[in-house]
Amino acid sequence: MHAVSCSLRTFAVAALVGLPTVAAAQDTHRVGHAGEGLSHNMGLSIGLVGSGITLDLPSGAPDLNGGMGGVAVGYGIRKNITHVARLQFGRLDESSADILQLDGETRYVFNDENVRLRPFVDGGLSYLRIEGKNAGFVKAGLGLNYFLSPRYALEAAVAIGLGKISDVDGTSGMRTARVGFVWHR
């Protein structure tokens, strides 16, 4: 539990210090002029993602680590707000257990469509199914989209969460790191 509280503090410091700095630096990376934007944050996005996950168990058991891959679908409802659903499958290293993760998030993007690098924060819920056990987590994260062209972007993000795994006493922690390739309509 101490590791989770340290992760929360680190996450809060990074969000407060890092994102405004990155957002302010974007004026030097503008593409073209106003009206010649790369892509709009509104509309449909589809992506391929890969994630690493660590589950911190409260009962003194060792952490569970694993990797996953899957798809993400997003829909921008406003210029800076997007809802994202993500489905991933993978395997946990220590137990060779299969894992399924389903995420629902709301994302706030800090920059407009005229910059290549767009930082974001997001939060939502994660459902995990690990070898017949269910788990639910509330999570928050931050990340970056880097637009290679008007329609294609690379994405990197990290998130932390707190939740409950069935048949495990106490609150568990979750940490994920994700990279992906996203197409925007």
- Return the CATH number at 139: 2.40.160.20
Tens digit of pLDDT for each residue in 67-110? 999 999 999 888 889 999 999 999 987 667 789 999 999 999 99
Count other C-beta atoms under 10 Å from residue 115's C-beta: 22
| Domain carrying residue 22 | 2-184
The two three-digit tokens of residue 83, written as one number: 């809802």
**pLDDT in the model for residue 40:** 54
Q: How many domains does the chain have?
A: 1
* Distance of alpha carbon 106 from alpha carbon 108, whole angstroms: 7
- DSSP-assigned letter for residue 63: P
The two three-digit tokens of residue 75, written as one number: 């829909």
Whether 65 has a pLDDT exceeding 60, the answer reads yes
**pLDDT in the model for residue 169:** 85
Mean pLDDT (the chain, rounded) = 81
The half-sphere exposure of 106 on its side-chain side, counting CA atoms within 13 A, is 6
> For the chain, what's the residue count?
185
Tens digit of pLDDT for each residue in 103-156? 999 999 997 777 899 999 999 999 999 888 899 999 999 999 999 988 899 999
The fraction of the chain above a pLDDT of 90, given in percent, is 52
Owner of token pair 């294609």: 152
Whether 48 has a pLDDT exceeding 90, the answer reads yes
**pLDDT in the model for residue 142:** 97
What is the pLDDT averaged over residues 53-63? 85
**pLDDT in the model for residue 95:** 65
* Distance of alpha carbon 62 from alpha carbon 65, whole angstroms: 9
The fraction of the chain above a pLDDT of 70, given in percent, is 76
